[in-house]
């Protein structure tokens, strides 16, 4: 009897141990690891890497599920490309990667590059001074949200053959070519983004089908939203030319005429007196 109880207890213990969630380790840069890449190399799957404030000169390649977070936010954590020909951050064939709270700059490729990545989350980063802010190639079901991808030489956010991604509440302003470009990418959701002041187009869909383009702002670009060879896209509630741009100048010119008449009558009264 006693033996049976012990067996049951041992079996229950084994069950609970196996069912308990795997606790991820926390790795710290620069306290424990001098570089972000060395922390990535030494991390196990699903570990959390916290990067302290400062400037880092690296090209980081991530090939396993990891979380990379900055301790003090994007403005205080700047990562510059050591090798300009490579992206600052590259997710290569990995799933469930988080990159949050970094400034990525100085790459002739991209600030953050997703290559065959799935279920990744890129959030709250500043991607500036690169050829492209964020580049996604053959990557599906990722979330790209609340990033600032501005002042890049070509595109702010560039999706190539990438499907089912969520691109939301990003700022892709003042880029040298386009704000957001979807090329051969389908079933993506592009919602609530700002794509203003880009040299060429705000948002472009090229050979992309079944995307949702909603509630974005595309102001003061050469062209606001451009679609070519693209079908079945839902484009709604985007702001491309707000009424204020038309109404305000008309009101001001009208006020100018009124101002002239008022001034004229005041002058007449003054000189009569």
Partner 1 sequence: MKLLISILQYVPVTLASIGLIIATSSFISGLQLIRGTSITIEGRIHRLNGYLSIILYVILAVLGFALSGISLWSVFGWFSGFFIILTKLWIVKKSRKKRRAFKYVSWFGASLTLMWLYMVYIHLPL
Cβ at position 67, least distance to partner 1 in Å: 29
Residues contacting 183, CB < 8 A, separation 6+:
158, 159, 160, 161, 204, 206, 207, 208
For strand 132-137 and strand 112-115, is the pairing parallel, antiparallel, or unpaired? parallel
247 near partner 1 (CB under 8 A): no
Going by the DSSP 8-state scheme, the letter that residue 33 receives in this structure is -
Q: Number of residues in contact with partner 1, rule: CB under 8 A?
A: 22
The distance of closest approach from Cβ of residue 195 to partner 1 in the complex, given in angstroms and rounded to an integer, is 10
Tell me the closest approach of the beta carbon of residue 253 to partner 1, in angstroms: 5
Nearer to partner 1, 1 or 244 (CB): 244
Q: Are the C-beta atoms of 105 and 130 separated by less than 8 Å? A: yes
Q: Are 175 and 147 in contact (CB under 8 A)?
A: no
Check binding of 72 to partner 1 (CB under 8 A). no
The 143-182 site mask, x for binding partner 1 (CB under 8 A), equals ----------------------------------------
Out of 7, 11, 44, 253, which residue is the one contacting partner 1 (CB under 8 A)? 253
φ, ψ of residue 191 to 5 degrees: the values are: -130, 135
d(CA 259, CA 263): 6
Q: Does 271 bind partner 1 (CB under 8 A)?
A: yes
Task: Choose between 16 and 271: whose C-beta lies nearer to partner 1.
Answer: 271
| Interatomic CA distance for residues 219 and 193, integer angstroms | 11
- Give the DSSP H or E segment for 250: helix 244-272
Full strand arrangement of the beta sheet holding 201-206: 60-62, 89-92, 112-115, 132-137, 155-160, 178-183, 201-206, 223-228
220 binds partner 1 (CB under 8 A): yes
196 binds partner 1 (CB under 8 A): yes
On whether the CB atoms of residues 105 and 111 are closer than 8 A, the answer is: yes
The answer to whether residue 249 forms part of the interface with partner 1 (CB under 8 A) is yes
**CB of residue 190 vs partner 1: minimum separation in angstroms?**
18
Rounded to a whole number of angstroms, the minimum distance from the CB of residue 219 to partner 1 is 5
CB closer to partner 1 out of 15 and 260: 260
Can you tell me which of 217, 224, 230, 238 binds partner 1, judged by CB under 8 A?
217
Cross-sheet strand order for the sheet of 77-80: 54-57, 77-80, 103-105, 126-127
Closer to partner 1 by CB, 86 or 194: give it.
194
CB of 225 to partner 1, least distance (A): 16
User: Where do contacts with partner 1 occur on this chain (CB under 8 A)?
Assistant: 194, 196-197, 217, 219-220, 244-245, 248-249, 252-253, 255-257, 259-260, 263-264, 267-268, 271
């Amino acid at each position: 009897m006693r033996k049976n109880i012990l067996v049951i207890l041992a079996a229950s213990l084994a069950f609970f141990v196996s069912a308990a969630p795997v606790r991820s380790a926390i790795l710290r840069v620069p306290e424990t690891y001098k570089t972000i890449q060395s922390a990535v190399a030494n991390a196990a799957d699903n570990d959390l890497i916290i990067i302290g404030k400062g400037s880092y000169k690296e090209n980081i390649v991530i090939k396993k599920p990891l979380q990379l977070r900055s301790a003090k936010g994007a403005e205080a954590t700047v990562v510059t490309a050591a090798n300009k020909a490579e992206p600052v951050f590259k997710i290569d064939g990995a799933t469930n990667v988080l990159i949050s709270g970094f400034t990525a700059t100085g790459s002739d490729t991209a600030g953050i590059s997703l290559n065959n990545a799935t279920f990744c989350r890129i959030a709250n980063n500043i991607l500036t001074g690169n050829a492209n802010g964020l580049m996604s190639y053959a990557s599906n079901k990722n979330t790209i949200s609340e990033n600032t991808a501005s002042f890049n030489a070509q595109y702010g956010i560039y999706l190539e053959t990438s499907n089912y991604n969520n691109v939301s509440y990003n700022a892709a302003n003042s880029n040298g070519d386009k704000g957001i470009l979807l090329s051969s990418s389908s079933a993506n959701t592009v919602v609530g983004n700002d794509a203003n002041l880009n040299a060429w187009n705000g948002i472009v869909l090229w050979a992309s089908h079944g995307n949702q383009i909603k509630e974005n702002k595309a102001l003061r670009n050469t062209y606001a939203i451009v679609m070519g060879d693209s079908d079945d896209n839902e484009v709604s509630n985007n702001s491309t030319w707000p009424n204020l741009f038309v109404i305000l100048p008309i009101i001001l010119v009208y006020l100018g005429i009124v101002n002239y008449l008022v001034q004229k009558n005041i002058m007449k009264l003054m000189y009569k007196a």
